[in-house]
């Protein structure tokens, strides 16, 4: 069998400037990968690199030719284990770049089997959890407006970015404008351990679900300090990047937040999910700001999760790719009428 591959860089404006504790983003740079078999069936994937983890669109474009050469050398999209192993040998890091290839291969393999990806994996679509919708840091007035818009659009779970000198004001405002919503907060490493405990004690009064990454990933004992004293469950994101991190956070957090772009692909994400379960952790799957060319694949893992934060494409002003429908945050795998990941160019 022969496979043809190519990729292109896409610049995707966001609906609103997106601010977290460590910076603001107005445009998402993704790199879309295509892998086509000799019958003309095409698999699509995408990389959404993060400079925080040492990747940019430039580095993705630099390593993709070598990764795709590996795919062409193997020549069989169903040899997912062999290709994954060969890619890791070819490019040690660059997980977003490897993820783009992983997603495209899974899309192609499931299409060749004439199955949606969740069925290719044997998962139950009725078990899919809903996604949260993120409210980025902004002026209090704008965060109130964004919350009202999210509620009007039907999102019942909101993830609120914090890590400022007015965190309680932010959370209070969001709660006032979304009285019935499930609310979780994400500090993106912004607090010190003692500050985190104090803030969580106050924020717990607003009926929050959990707190994500309260302290820097470089301070694992600080994370444990917070978890041992926290009034709310703690999720680890920046502290949980790859498979070896999972056992390391097992006594320091309650929830492991995985991301395809951090771990390098779908097979590794599944391994991390099962490892987290074996260590007594709940599991959330998050994302970067991504086109549906990537998010759609992540959605097929929803039946394995306790929580999903897969709103990356929902934050875009316009996504050139369509994928798994998420009406009001519900990840509608059962309603998917296309094979593979369900992604297609609009």
Q: Is 161 known to be catalytic?
A: yes
Q: Which residue has tokens 């680890």?
A: 236
Cα separation of 261 and 250, whole Å?
A: 21
Phi and psi of 275, rounded to 5°?
A: -65, -40
Per annotation, catalytic residue among 111, 146, 259, 262: 259
Residue 224 a catalytic site member: no
Q: Is the CB of residue 168 less than 8 Å from the CB of residue 202?
A: yes
Other Cβ atoms closer than 10 A to 56: 14
Alpha carbon distance 271, 173 (integer Å): 39
Catalytic residue from among 107, 237, 254, 268: 237
Whether 212 sits among the annotated catalytic residues: the reply is: yes
R_g of the chain, CA atoms, integer Å: 19
| Set 111, 146, 159, 161: catalytic member | 161
Q: Choosing from 36, 107, 209, 212, which is the catalytic residue?
A: 212
Our measurement of the distance from residue 90's CA atom to the centroid of its chain's CA atoms, rounded to an integer in Å, reads: 24
Residue 146 bears catalytic tag:
no
55 is catalytic: no
Catalytic residue among 36, 84, 138, 186: 186
State the catalytic residues.
161, 186, 212, 237, 259
């Amino acid at each position: 069998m022969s496979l043809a591959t190519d990729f292109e860089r896409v610049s995707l404006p966001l609906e609103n400037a997106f601010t977290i504790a460590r910076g603001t983003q107005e445009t998402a740079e993704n790199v879309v990968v295509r892998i086509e078999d000799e019958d003309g069936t095409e698999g699509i994937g995408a990389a959404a690199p993060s400079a925080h983890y040492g990747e940019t669109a430039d580095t993705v474009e630099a390593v993709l030719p070598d990764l795709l050469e590996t795919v062409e050398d193997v020549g069989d999209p169903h040899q997912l284990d062999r290709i994954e192993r060969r890619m890791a040998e070819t490019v040690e890091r660059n997980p977003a770049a490897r993820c783009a290839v992983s997603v495209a291969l899974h899309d192609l393999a499931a299409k060749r089997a004439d199955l949606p990806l969740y069925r290719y994996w044997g998962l139950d679509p009725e078990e899919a959890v809903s996604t949260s919708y993120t409210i980025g840091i902004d002026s209090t007035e704008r965060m109130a407006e964004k919350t009202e818009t999210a509620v009007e659009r039907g999102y019942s779970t909101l993830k609120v970015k914090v890590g400022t000198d007015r965190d309680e004001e932010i959370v209070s405002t969001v709660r006032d404008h979304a009285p019935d919503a499930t609310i979780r907060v994400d500090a993106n490493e912004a607090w010190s351990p003692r500050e985190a405990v104090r803030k969580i004690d106050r924020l717990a009064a607003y009926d929050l679900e959990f707190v994500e990454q309260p302290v820097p990933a470089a301070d694992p004992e600080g994370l444990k300090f917070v978890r041992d004293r926290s009034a709310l469950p703690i999720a680890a994101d920046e502290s949980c990047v790859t498979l070896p991190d999972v056992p390391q956070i097992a006594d320091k957090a309650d929830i492991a937040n995985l991301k395809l772009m951090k771990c390098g692909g779908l097979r590794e994400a599944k391994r991390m999910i099962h490892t987290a379960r074996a260590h007594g952790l709940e599991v959330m799957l998050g994302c970067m700001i991504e086109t549906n060319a990537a998010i759609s694949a992540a959605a097929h893992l929803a039946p394995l999760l306790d929580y999903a934060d897969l709103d990356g494409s929902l934050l875009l002003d316009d996504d050139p790719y369509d994928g798994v429908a998420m009406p009001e945050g519900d990840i509608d795998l059962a309603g998917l009428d296309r094979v593979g990941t369900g992604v297609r160019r609009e």
